[in-house]
Amino acid sequence: MTTPHTATASVEPLRQRLGSRFLTSAEALRDFSEDRSLAVAEGQPLGVVLAESADDVSVALAWANETKTPVSVRGGGSGLSGGAVSYPGGLVVSLEAMNRVLDIDVANRLADVEPGVVTSDLDEHARKHGLFFAPDPSSAHLSTVGGNIATDAGGLRCIAHGTTAASVAALDVVLADGSIIHTGARTIKNATGLNMTPLFVGSEGTLGVITRATVRLKPVPEGTPRTFCASFDTVEAAGRAVTSIVSSNPRPEVLELIDAICARLIEEFEPSGLPQPEAALLLGQTVGPTAQRDAEILVAACERMGATVTRIQEGNDLLEARRIANGALMAGRYAVHCDVGVPVGNLVEMMRGVQAISEEAGRGVSILAHAGDGNLHPAVESDETPEDRAAAEKVVDRITELAISLGGVITGEHGIGSLKYRELPLQLDEPTLRAQRALKAALDPHGILTPGRGI
């Protein structure tokens, strides 16, 4: 695959074709150059395409392909892996203006949406019809459906409903040369040709740009959900409780772990009465007609594993406290975040290992986890100096290596982006990397789409 050049190309064709949808002001170049990660743009892009249609995206990519200009793709800018950061002399394709819910197909439990639809907005639309959108990242009020698909985002409800991939039925995708393809179908079964939809889910904009998605919806469970919490004096005891819950029935819809550091920072950031555990707090939610009974069974399981304080309540208040955890960690100087996954049965060993790494490095590490599916987000203490950030990143590398040694993965839902690109060889051997990059080269021979990221 060739590497896109960085020489300045004439943008006049984009001005002529896109008009006011092509932005070059200093403010636009600044606002669309970075995401919510610590990755920093190394130079100024040529311009921003504020796409309003698949045709706009097609025009932008055809020009970029012809001029060999690198392209970064941006949804809501809520990514934590540096995948949307602009390239020097590159083109930014923003999908935030493509934010319409096009249709809610109640009979088939499907929604047709543009990629810039905010996750929580789609969920709100669906609930008016007695349905809901299962993917539920903590940033649901910021993240977009297209971004969720591009990174195969997970979130709080993964233990019950899987990652975003399980909810994607069909896609419209603009390829690097500007051509538009359609993958998947509205049917439950589809054995026609190659199943290309999963190829684009989680591809982080490296293979094409998603401009429309047909996603699956589910019926809203009856009754009022119950949220439970359980405090533990050791993270090992909390981890054993998770393993016990996941390996038996009933299963909760949500099962999250917050360690004592994170629980304290959340309460300091936005006081809500969140219980303060000695070591770790489990938060879970049950739904449906048996929600109360199921919550009582799960709390009893936690108590058998050593929970010291437990509580069951109606509604979502405890989970709302969980959703602000990332902001609280950032405000509390736990700024270098990690995203790894391990088999749930290895969760206790993983958490014990993270604690050991923290002690050996002499640097605080807070553990936040979608515990029910083994996806951990350790956050490493760091100040804002480059030297201290680099030292914190070395701690992240050790945590990632530990996850791999336990049969895990280097990212569970945030994606590789630019920040984890160096870690790819930890999980994928050279033949596997070659195969993945051969697929990219077939769809993007000039390497213009998100080069040096993802794969």
Q: What is the pLDDT of residues 319-331, one digit of tens each?
A: 999 999 999 999 9
| Rounded average pLDDT over 269-292 | 96
pLDDT digits 0-9 by tens, 71-86? 999 999 999 899 999 9
The torsion defined by the Cα of 266, 269, 272 and 278, in degrees rounded to 10, comes to 40
Name the residue with tokens 């993240």. 143
Per-state percent for the chain, helix, strand, coil, to nearest 5: 35, 20, 40
Confidence of residue 7 (pLDDT cuts 50, 70, 90): low
**How many helices and strands, by DSSP H and E, does the chain display?**
16, 21
For residue 230 the two structure tokens come to 């359980």
Threshold 0.85, pTM exceeds: yes
Q: Residue 130 CB: number of other CB atoms within 10 A?
A: 11
Name the residue with tokens 């993945």. 436
pLDDT reported for residue 75: 94
Query: Nearest to residue 361, comparing CAs of 381, 345, 343?
Result: 381
Name the residue with tokens 């405090």. 231
pLDDT reported for residue 146: 97
pLDDT digits 0-9 by tens, 256-279? 999 999 999 999 999 989 999 999
Q: What percentage of the chain carries pLDDT values higher than 90? A: 92
pLDDT reported for residue 1: 42
pLDDT digits 0-9 by tens, 13-62? 999 999 999 999 999 999 999 998 888 898 999 999 999 999 999 999 99
Instruction: From residue 307, give the alpha-carbon distance in Å to each of 226, 236, 261, 446.
Output: 18, 11, 18, 56
pLDDT reported for residue 2: 45
Residue 6 has pLDDT above 60, yes or no: no
pLDDT reported for residue 188: 95
Of residues 3 and 413, more confidently modeled: 413
pLDDT reported for residue 38: 83
For residue 288 the two structure tokens come to 């449906």
What CA–CA distance (Å, rounded) separates 160 from 177? Answer: 39
| Rounded average pLDDT over 159-175 | 97
The answer for residues whose C-beta is within 8 angstroms of residue 91's C-beta and 6 or more apart is 45, 46, 47, 48, 49, 60, 63, 64, 69, 70, 71, 72
Confidence of residue 315 (pLDDT cuts 50, 70, 90): confident
Mean confidence (pLDDT) of the chain? 95
Residue 428 has pLDDT above 50, yes or no: yes
User: Which own/partner contact pairs does 313-317 have at CB distance under 8 Å and 24+ positions apart?
Assistant: 313/226, 313/227, 313/228, 314/224, 314/225, 314/226, 314/227, 315/224, 315/225, 315/227, 316/225, 316/227, 316/285, 317/227, 317/272
**Which runs of consecutive H residues, i.e. helices, occur in 2-53?**
12-18, 26-31
- For residue 113, give the 3-state DSSP assignment: strand
Residue 354 has pLDDT above 60, yes or no: yes
Instruction: From residue 38, give the alpha-carbon distance in Å to each of 59, 79, 385, 435.
Output: 31, 10, 12, 30
For residue 106 the two structure tokens come to 């109640």
Name the residue with tokens 């990212």. 411
Residue 94 has pLDDT above 60, yes or no: yes
Of residues 406 and 335, more confidently modeled: 406
Residue 420 has pLDDT above 50, yes or no: yes
Query: Nearest to residue 365, comparing CAs of 338, 387, 345?
Result: 338
Q: Residue 186 CB: number of other CB atoms within 10 A?
A: 13
| Rounded average pLDDT over 366-392 | 95
Residue 9 has pLDDT above 80, yes or no: no
Name the residue with tokens 């021979």. 445
For residue 218 the two structure tokens come to 């589910």
Confidence of residue 246 (pLDDT cuts 50, 70, 90): very high
pLDDT reported for residue 384: 86
pLDDT digits 0-9 by tens, 300-309? 999 999 999 9
Residue 240 has pLDDT above 60, yes or no: yes
| Rounded average pLDDT over 121-143 | 96
pLDDT reported for residue 4: 58
What CA–CA distance (Å, rounded) separates 114 from 75? Answer: 11
155 within 8 A of 137, measured Cβ to Cβ: yes
Length of the chain (residues): 455
CA-CA-CA-CA torsion sign (435, 439, 442, 446): negative
